[in-house]
Each structure stands twice: as structure tokens, then as C-alpha cells.
């Protein structure tokens, strides 16, 4: 099974002060030990890296890069994926929805992923199963 990992989950795992840290850490440990194919996009990595660097510093950014990214399958966003996501974003006409979210949804559909490790309600709204 494939599980998409969102920025909200990465932040909850890495930030001990995050309200979801304990739950996220348990789920992350289970996912890493399990058989799931862990997916994300290059846009999620850019977003996560920027937030981790700003909130937690370069040490946490290095941990993300050196220990987390190598166990992920990264869908690198190309022009077609970017354009499809931008079209979805503009069609949705919702200020609370981001381009990174729309890229994630489109990538999940293209890769056949039905489940996301995410604390972002938009994944459920798009019809995906979320964990925890």
C-alpha cells in the first residue's frame, strides 16, 4: 500500500512542541517499520524544509534531509503536474487551499495513492483516507 506524507505530518513528527507530536511519532514509527511505500512530492519537501528551517533550525532541516527523505519515494513535480494543480487551485476558488495541496492531490491520484499521513482536512475533503 502507498501512503502519501504531507507537510503537516512531517512537522508534527519533527516538532516535539507540536500538539500532534505524540500521535504523529507513533504513526511514523509504524509506517517506517511497515511495508508501506511512503510517497511525497518535491513541493511538499520544499514547503516542509522552509517551515522546519524557520521553526526548528538547520539541525532539524538536516535531519529531514539526511534521515527522512532517503526513505521516501519523491514525485518530482514537472510542468504537467504543476499546471494541472494550478488549474485545480484556480477552479476551486478557495483561499484556504494551497498550490502544494493541489499538487499533492493530483500526484496521489496519478500514483494511485488513496491514503495520506496528514493532519490537513483538505485530504479528507478530496476523498482520501487520512491517518491517524
44, 6 in Cβ contact below 8 A? yes
What the block records as the C-alpha cell of 98 is 494551497
C-alpha 24: how far from chain center: 13
Q: What residue ranges define each of the domains in the chain, with the CATH number in brackets?
A: 2-131 (3.40.50.1010)
Per-residue pLDDT, 40? 98
pLDDT tens, position by position, 47-72 = 999 999 999 999 999 999 999 999 99
Per-residue pLDDT, 68? 96
**Cα–Cα distance between 7 and 58 in angstroms, integer?**
17
Per-residue pLDDT, 42? 98
Task: Please identify every stretch of the chain with a pLDDT value under 50, giving residue numbers as ranges.
Answer: none
Cβ-Cβ contacts under 8 Å for 40 (sequence gap 6 or more): 4, 5, 6, 72, 73, 74, 75
127, 13 in Cβ contact below 8 A? no
Per-residue pLDDT, 116? 98
What is the rounded end-to-end Cα distance, in angstroms, of the chain? 16
Per-residue pLDDT, 67? 96
Note the pTM of the prediction, 2 decimals: 0.95
Per-residue pLDDT, 107? 98
Per-residue pLDDT, 10? 98
Amino acid at each position: 500500500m502507498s501512503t502519501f506524507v504531507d507537510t503537516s505530518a512531517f512537522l508534527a513528527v519533527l516538532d516535539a512542541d507540536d500538539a500532534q507530536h505524540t500521535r504523529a511519532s507513533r504513526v511514523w514509527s509504524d509506517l517506517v517499520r511497515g511495508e508501506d511505500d511512503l510517497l511525497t512530492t518535491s513541493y511538499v519537501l520544499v514547503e516542509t524544509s522552509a517551515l522546519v528551517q524557520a521553526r526548528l533550525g538547520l539541525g532539524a532541516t538536516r535531519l529531514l534531509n539526511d534521515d527522512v527523505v532517503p526513505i521516501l519515494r519523491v514525485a518530482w513535480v514537472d510542468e504537467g503536474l504543476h499546471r494541472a494543480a494550478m488549474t485545480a487551485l484556480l477552479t476551486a476558488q478557495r483561499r484556504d487551499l494551497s498550490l502544494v495541496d493541489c499538487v499533492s492531490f493530483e500526484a496521489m491520484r496519478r500514483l494511485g495513492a488513496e491514503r495520506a499521513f496528514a493532519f490537513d482536512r483538505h485530504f479528507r475533503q478530496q476523498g482520501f483516507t487520512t491517518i491517524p
